Amino acid sequence: MPAQPAWFHRLEEILEELRSLDTPYLDRLFLQKLFRVQERRARQLMAGLPGIQVGNAVAVSRDGLLARLEETANGDRW
């Protein structure tokens, strides 16, 4: 069984912050700060989530990320 992600112990804190946001989309830099990870891991977290193109960057759906993390918090695998 793989090890839990380094941010996993902060999952409730991350969920609370996401729920308090008013913006529908999140960029990679925001995810880096929220999860306290580097660029590559932030991109991996964004993979498979609904998103939009913003210039030459991508932003992912806050609701999509929130749903994925809530499933994880309820015991489903990441």
State how far the alpha carbon of 32 is from the alpha carbons of 35, 36, 39, in Å.
6, 5, 6
- Per residue in 35-63, pLDDT (tens digit) is 999 999 999 999 999 999 989 999 999 99
Pairing of strands 57-61, 25-27: antiparallel
H or E stretch at 52? strand 51-54
> CA 25, CA 59: separation in Å to the nearest integer?
6
Q: What is the pTM of this model?
A: 0.86
Domains of the chain, start order: 8-73 (1.10.10)
Name residue 13's amino acid: E
Q: Considering only 1-15, 22-36, 44-58, which range has the smallest mean pLDDT?
A: 1-15
pLDDT band with cut points at 50, 70 and 90 for residue 76: low
Nearest-angstrom CA–CA distance, 46 and 41:
9
